[in-house]
């Protein structure tokens, strides 16, 4: 009888958290016959029952961030809240000015609305963080202009976990009468927040980052700041006319319970996660060639972002099949492009692309992080050993004698710092290849094609050394068309072998 396959270790809490059982139970109860399934806008008993549940949840959500219940506007999530804030504030204040300040390390839910505002004629200043990932309040002051109508800077970065000095930044905006918004999706439920003591005017957050359901979030709108915001959608007038539409009672109820649970567990969870994070970093740091992104700055306990030298990021992640881990924010993790956040912090393309974000939370155990550290060690050792960089200068020779009386040939293409680096070594005797090996750095498709070719070179003569064309290899191994250019470098390495092929062997 075979052993059941272990479930991957979930280390992507920054992308989405598991739903807390207490939250799920509250939502299910809400959907039952005597629950709050009525339309909360209706005046009959079923509608009133739903409305009462919503207002109870609104109080729970507000309590977690130190707000008044009437300052909470329910939305579909942090992305909608960010769009409502950026577009709604800028448009409502366009008569006063058309300048917005944000940063290069914001979530796409802020950066994309900024781009949209630029198309509407607004000027947008994107601040560059320091190498540790913080925005200097003095840089914000320097960026402000007489026509600035909005400053939007995130409270906690979604990739590095770095906590910004929002208190100082919001205070200088308040002194100048400039509305201040913060994306706090990664902060709410993970660090203590009091929106009034922080002088925040608008704040976006969402339920699925704090063990609640997807599809429900909120925008905090400070009492008195509502005139600075105009709605983006129109309809039934719900949520004080700022966000119309029938409210999803069961999701809001789940959001409320999630916030209440997060507040109750905040202290003990912060301490536990801090210990887990430091233990994991200690294990990873011992592997050498590791860089902690956000080092030296306050960070939320449950996020650890590390860049690894000498490995290609996509190949690293593919080898970690037993881990559910991210290479950046969830909105970009399907792409092999390097993190724009880490590039903004000054990491080169190679290090930015080889970063992993480990994020953990309420259900993470020390044993799971031990398993993760062991998996990363295994893959780092494998990929580093496979890389041409693992060979010293004395190993890199174009040709050398062999014990069998033949000759050794080396062909190479690419190099350090490039997205592809391939080296083939061939033993040639009696006019044909008697053995072949390779070293390669690159994406999983690059490694797979190089290995596949090396296994097919034995017995081939000089005239037939290269088996087909890159497009043939791509078809055989199902390589995506966008990776075809990388296979050309493999072909270049084989052509180098031909160039060094001795006249008589």
Q: Indicate whether 179 belongs to any domain.
A: yes
pLDDT of residue 404: 53
Q: Indicate whether 505 belongs to any domain.
A: no
CATH number at residue 352: 3.90.1150.10
The residue out of 363, 388, 413 marking a domain boundary is: 388
Q: Indicate whether 16 belongs to any domain.
A: no
In a shared domain, residues 383 and 400:
no
Backbone angles phi, psi at 56, to 5 degrees: -65, -40
| Annotated catalytic residue within 331, 434, 443, 497 | 331
Q: Indicate whether 10 belongs to any domain.
A: no
Q: How many domains does the chain have?
A: 3
Q: Which domain holds residue 431?
A: 396-500
In a shared domain, residues 140 and 281:
no
Tell how far CA 138 is from the center of its chain.
28
In a shared domain, residues 258 and 274:
no
In a shared domain, residues 71 and 190:
yes
Distance CA 53, CA 316 (A): 47
The residue out of 388, 408, 434 marking a domain boundary is: 388
Closest residue by Cα to residue 236 from 39, 37, 31 = 39
pLDDT of residue 333: 43
Distance CA 216, CA 77 (A): 5
Q: Is there a catalytic annotation at residue 331?
A: yes
Q: Indicate whether 15 belongs to any domain.
A: no
Residue 288: DSSP 8-state: S
> Strands 148-152, 180-183: parallel, antiparallel or unpaired by DSSP?
parallel
In a shared domain, residues 245 and 334:
no
CATH number at residue 480: 3.90.1010.10
Strand-by-strand arrangement of the 421-429 sheet: 399-401, 407-414, 421-429, 432-441
Closest residue by Cα to residue 187 from 225, 213, 142, 153 = 153
In a shared domain, residues 55 and 157:
yes
Distance CA 333, CA 278 (A): 24
In a shared domain, residues 381 and 400:
no
Stretches in the chain below the pLDDT threshold 70: 1-5, 328-337, 393-405, 504-505
Contact 380, 316 (CB under 8 A): yes
Contact 345, 376 (CB under 8 A): no
In a shared domain, residues 148 and 278:
no
Nearby residues of 457 by Cβ (< 8 Å), 6 or more positions away: 424, 426, 433, 436, 465, 467
The residue out of 347, 369, 388 marking a domain boundary is: 388
Q: What is the DSSP string of 237-287?
A: -TGGGTS-S---HHHHHHHHHHHHHHHHHHHHHHHHHHHHHHHHHHHHHTT
In a shared domain, residues 367 and 401:
no
In a shared domain, residues 100 and 150:
yes
In a shared domain, residues 141 and 199:
yes
Q: Indicate whether 13 belongs to any domain.
A: no
In 43-145, the DSSP E strands lie at 72-75, 99-103, 123-127
In a shared domain, residues 93 and 234:
yes
pLDDT of residue 35: 77
Give the pair of three-digit tokens for residue 154. Answer: 């995130």
């Amino acid at each position: 009888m075979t052993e059941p396959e272990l479930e991957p270790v979930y280390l992507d809490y920054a992308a989405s958290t598991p739903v807390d059982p207490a939250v799920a139970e509250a939502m299910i109860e809400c959907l039952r016959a005597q629950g709050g399934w009525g339309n909360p806008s209706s005046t009959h008993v079923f509608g009133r029952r739903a409305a009462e549940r919503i207002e109870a949840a609104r109080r729970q959500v507000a309590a977690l961030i130190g707000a008044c219940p009437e300052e909470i506007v329910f939305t579909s999530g942090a992305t909608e809240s960010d769009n409502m804030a950026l577009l709604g504030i800028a448009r409502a204040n366009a008569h006063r000015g058309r300048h917005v300040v944000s940063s290069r390390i914001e979530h796409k839910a802020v950066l994309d609305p900024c781009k949209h505002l630029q198309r509407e004629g607004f000027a947008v200043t994107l601040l560059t963080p320091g190498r540790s990932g913080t925005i200097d309040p003095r840089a914000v002051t320097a960026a402000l202009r007489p026509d600035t109508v909005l400053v939007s800077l995130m409270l906690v970065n979604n990739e590095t976990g770095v906590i910004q000095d929002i208190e100082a930044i919001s205070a200088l905006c308040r002194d100048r009468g400039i509305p201040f918004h913060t994306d706090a999706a990664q902060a709410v439920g993970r660090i203590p927040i009091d929106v009034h003591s922080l002088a925040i005017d608008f704040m976006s957050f969402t339920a699925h980052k704090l063990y609640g359901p997807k599809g429900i979030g909120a925008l905090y709108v400070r009492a008195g700041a509502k005139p600075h915001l105009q709605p983006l959608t129109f309809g039934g007038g719900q949520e004080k006319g700022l966000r119309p539409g029938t409210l999803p009672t069961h999701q809001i109820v789940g959001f409320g319970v999630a916030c209440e649970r997060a507040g109750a567990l905040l202290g003990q969870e912060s301490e536990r996660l801090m210990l887990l994070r430091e233990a994991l970093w200690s294990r990873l740091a011992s592997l050498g060639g590791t860089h902690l992104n956000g080092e030296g700055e306050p960070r939320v306990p449950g996020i650890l972002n590390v860049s690894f030298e000498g490995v290609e990021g996509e190949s690293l992640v593919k080898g970690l099949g037993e881990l559910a881990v991210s290479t950046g924010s969830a909105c970009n993790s399907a792409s092999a492009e390097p993190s724009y956040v880490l590039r903004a912090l000054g990491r080169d393309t190679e290090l930015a692309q080889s970063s992993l974000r480990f994020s953990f939370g309420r259900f993470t155990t020390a044993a799971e992080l031990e398993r993760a550290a062991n998996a990363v060690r295994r893959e780092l050792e494998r990929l580093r050993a496979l890389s041409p960089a693992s060979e010293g200068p004395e190993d890199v020779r174009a040709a050398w004698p062999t014990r069998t009386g033949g000759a050794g040939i080396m062909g190479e293409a690419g190099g350090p710092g490039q997205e592809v680096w391939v080296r083939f070594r061939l033993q040639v005797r009696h006019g044909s290849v008697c053995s072949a090996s390779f070293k390669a750095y690159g994406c999983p498709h690059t490694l797979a094609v190089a290995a596949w070719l090396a296994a097919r070179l034995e017995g081939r003569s000089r005239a037939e050394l290269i088996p087909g064309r890159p497009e043939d290899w791509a078809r055989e191994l199902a390589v995506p068309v966008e990776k075809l250019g990388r296979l050309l470098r493999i072909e270049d390495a084989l052509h180098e072998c031909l160039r060094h092929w001795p006249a008589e062997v």
